Amino acid sequence: MSGAVLKTKTQTQSKTNDIDVSDLGKPDTLRYNVLTLVVNEEYDRAIKTLKDFIESDSDYPNFRLKIEKYSLHAVDLMHAIRTKRNFPGLSGLTRTKQQELRDKFKEHFNELRFVMRKIEECMEELRVKDVRSTNLVVKSFWFSLIVVFAVGFFFEVIRGLGYTAEVVFNEYLDKLLNIIFDKFF
C-alpha cells in the first residue's frame, strides 16, 4: 500500500469511531475516494471528484441521465455534512444538541454512502446491459452466418449434387429399361 492511502486510512479511522473503513468500498473507486475525502473534511475536493466523474466521457449513452439525480443528492448531502461538522458555536451548545448534530452527521454520512453505492450499482447495471447487448449482437451475427452457410450448402447440394444424382439416376434407368426391353421385345 502506498503511504498516502495508509495515511488516509489511519486518518479515517481516527476521525470516525463509528464508520467502518470497509464500508468505504474498494480503494481507487469513486465511492472510496469521495467518502474518504468527506471523512477527512475535504468537501470541495469530494464534490469536485464527483462532478469530474459525472462530466467525464462515458462508454454508455444514458450514463448521466441514470446517475444525475444520485450525484445531485450526494452533493447536497456533502453540503449538509459540512454544515453539521462546521457548525458555528458548536462548543457553546448543550451536549444533547451536540449529540444531535453528530447523529445527523452520521445519518447524512450513511445516506451518502448509500447514494454512492447506488451510483456504483447504476454503473454496474449499465455495464451488464452493455455486455448483454454485445452478447446478443454476437449471437445474432453467428446465427445469421450459420443460416447463410446452411442455405449456401443447400443450394450447392441441389444444384451440384442434385444434377449429378439426376444424371446417374437417368443412366441407371436407361440401362434398366434397355434390359427389360431387350428381354421382352
pTM over 0.75: no
166 occurs within a structural domain? no
Q: How many domains does the chain have?
A: 1
Task: State the residue range of the domain holding 94.
Answer: 3-134
- Whether 34 and 23 have beta carbons less than 8 Å apart is answered as no
pLDDT of residue 23: 65
Helix (H, G, I), strand (E, B) or coil at 90: helix
Q: Could you tell me which residues come within 8 angstroms of residue 154 by beta carbon, excluding any fewer than 6 positions away?
A: none
171 occurs within a structural domain? no
**How do residues 49-97 score in pLDDT, each as one tens digit?**
888 888 887 777 788 888 888 888 999 998 888 887 777 776 777 888 8
141 occurs within a structural domain? no
96 occurs within a structural domain? yes
pLDDT of residue 140: 96
Question: 76-103 burial, b if ≥16 CB within 10 A, otherwise e?
Answer: ebbebbbebbebeeeeeeeeeeeeebee
- Whether 23 and 113 have beta carbons less than 8 Å apart is answered as yes
Closest by Cα among 37, 45, 33 to 11: 37
The C-alpha cell at 35 is: 467518502
Structure confidence at residue 173 as a pLDDT band (50, 70, 90) = very high
pLDDT of residue 141: 96
